[in-house]
Structures are given as C-alpha cells and as structure tokens.
Amino acid sequence: MAKQAAGPESGMSDQWSDEHGVVDSSAIPTHDAGGAPIPVTIPIDLAPGVRVVYTTRLGGVSQGGYASLNLGGKGGDEPGSVEANRQALSRELGKPLRLVSQVHSARVVDADGRDPAGMDAPPADAQVTTRTDQALGIFAADCLPVLLADPEAGVIGAAHCGRKGLVAGVIASLVDMMVSKGADLGGIVATLGPCICPDCYQVDEDLARSFDQVFPGTAGTSRFGGVSIDIASAARMALRASGISRVVDSGRRVAAATHYLKDDQELDAIRKVDKGAEQARDIRADRAGHWLCTVENPLWFSHRRAVLAGVETEGRMLALIMRED
Ligand SMILES: [Zn+2]
C-alpha cells in the first residue's frame, strides 16, 4: 500500500480526524522492504475510476535543497537520485510515469500513442490519455497543475498552468483535445493542485496589468506590499470559459495531510533549507487555509521560497492523474 498522508478513511481516532479523513499514522511504513524510502503522496478524490495524486517533498533520496523527493530532471540534482525517486513513485502508483518537457506554452500532447517503454518527454504543457496503463504527470513548484477527467468517457488530462501558459490558453487547448478524444464538456470535472497563492505571488506592475487584462480581477496586492496575481483564480476563469463548471476542492485533503505530517521528522530536517526565508511564513503557525500555497506550506517545493531563503537549489513535485484498471 502506498504511503499516503490522507488515505482511506479508517482508523480515525479524534474529531479532527473524523472531519478531515486522516488515516491512522501507525499503519503507514516510511520505507519499503528493501530499505528505500516510500514517496509521501496526497490522494485526491476527483471522480470514480480516476486517481489524482500530489507528491510532496518527503520520501525520496535527494539531498540539500532537492531533499528529498525531487522528481525534476532539469534543476541540477543528481540524475541517479531523480531516477530513483521517479522509479519509487512509479512503483507506488503501479504505473509508468508519462512526463512532458514543460515550456510554458499551450501545447498539448496525445499520450495515447506514446511508447509504453519509452522515456521520451516531448515539449508540451498538457497531455491527454484514455489509457489506464500510465500516469500523466505535471511538474510544478509554484506553477499550478490542473487535472481533469471525464470519468464516463474515460478521458483524463493534465496541464501545467504558469502565468505564460494560462495567457497562451493551455487550459482551452487541453479541453479541446479531451473533447476530440470523446470527453463530454458536461461530464468533465477538474481540480487545482498546489501553487503559489495571490498573497505570495508578487510580480512587476506591468506584468500584473497585462495578466489582469486577460483575466480581469486577478491582480491584487501581495503581503510583501507590491502587486500580485492570482493564477488559481485565472485557471478557474479559463475552465469556466471552456465550459467546465465542476471543480473539486483539493484543499480539504491537503489540509488533512498537512495536519497529519506536522510533526514529521523528515519534514523538520528538510525545512532547515527554508530557514533563510523569514518571509516564507509557515501555515502551521498562523496561516490556516493556505494549505495549497507552495510558498507557505513546507510540504511543497517552492521556487519563490527558495529565492527568499537564498537557496540556489530546489526540487520539483509532480501532480499526477491516472485511470484505474
Ligand atoms: Zn501564499
């Protein structure tokens, strides 16, 4: 069984757990039979027969700023560590990972025709499949992963939604390809993964203004005193514009996982690299509700937090969607 921080609702012992569905901690191993760490992931209930999983920083073999479950291959981490982390994740999910080389575009790939044994990662920012034998993964550390499924039609998709990709129309492109492969607009349900929140995502004024012209009302004020943009809100706008009205909130499960892992020893050790980021703010202290913010919740890798902390290395997480066999 995968080590999942907020898994099936069993073994709950207190009221908080009853409300938030925290699995009994004592039942979850941290290492496999061979002594390798088991990736710590957070499952989200999106739709029947569809599984969404967010990886965290925990349960891998990478070191330093990459500690420990870095899944990104472009950031300078040891290739052997990245590969070990990906293989461990694939084992836990029971499916090969299908990845793309993300370029902040609106390009979508049809993952149905990809070689099951191939390790290629075509340049794209979204992918679609009807197959049950692969997990579609989107890298992120502040950018927003959006996962979609039409469970009836058996079509799933995933998009990497940064500021540029949203403006380029990556969500519309993804929805178009899902529909072309048999999805029904009225049957599609979506969820938004962890990303940098509008309180934290301070940007240049010109940039905020142009983003706000495309997604009205998404520019605001950051907690650092400058202007900011809200990419999650923009993504919800793009989903509505594409005809998707059903959005499942990932925050509840993530809140449960955050609560469950608040005293985790590995998390405490990993957070030593965050110490220089005085402004990172720890939601465990005073920011309840910002569970999905990559800067504030120490469970997530965050490029912005690494910059604030003066750390030159940082990892990447994956948000994954897969159909069950
Ligand atoms: Zn935030």
Distance 66 CA to ligand 1 centre (A): 21
Distance 46 CA to ligand 1 centre (A): 24
> What are the sequence ranges of the domains in the chain?
15-198+246-323
Distance 200 CA to ligand 1 centre (A): 4
User: Which option is the CATH number for 15-198+246-323: 3.10.20.30, 1.10.8.350, 3.60.140.10, 3.40.50.620?
Assistant: 3.60.140.10
If you average pLDDT over every residue of the chain, what do you get?
A: 89
Residue-wise DSSP of 71-118: --SSSS--HHHHHHHHHHHHHHHTS-EE--B--SS--EEEGGGS-TT-
Tens digit of pLDDT for each residue in 237-279? 999 999 999 999 999 999 999 989 988 999 999 988 888 777 7
- The more confidently predicted of residues 263 and 125 is 125
Distance 251 CA to ligand 1 centre (A): 13
Tens digit of pLDDT for each residue in 48-57? 999 999 999 9
- Strand segments, DSSP code E, in 106-164 are 108-110, 126-129, 135-140, 144-150, 155-161
Amino acid at 60: G
Alpha helices in the chain (DSSP H): 15-20, 79-93, 163-168, 170-180, 205-214, 231-241, 251-260, 265-270, 283-286, 303-309
Question: How much is the pLDDT for 283?
Answer: 63
Q: How many CB atoms lie within 10 A of CB 105?
A: 17
Question: How much is the pLDDT for 21?
Answer: 56
Amino acid at 227: V
Mode of pairing for the β-strands spanning 189-192 and 246-248: parallel
Question: How much is the pLDDT for 120?
Answer: 73
Residues lining ion ligand 1 (Cβ < 5 A) are 197, 199-200, 293, 295-296
What's the mean pLDDT in 199-213? 97
Instruction: Assess whether pLDDT exceeds 80 at residue 2.
Output: no
Distance 280 CA to ligand 1 centre (A): 8
Distance 221 CA to ligand 1 centre (A): 12
Confidence of residue 281 (pLDDT cuts 50, 70, 90): confident
Distance 141 CA to ligand 1 centre (A): 13
Lookup: tokens for 166: 């949203």
Q: How many CB atoms lie within 10 A of CB 310?
A: 10
Percent of the chain with pLDDT over 70: 88
Distance 80 CA to ligand 1 centre (A): 32
Instruction: Assess whether pLDDT exceeds 50 at residue 9.
Output: no
Question: How much is the pLDDT for 273?
Answer: 85
What's the mean pLDDT in 29-46? 92
In DSSP terms, which residues pair with 145 in a beta bridge?
Answer: 160
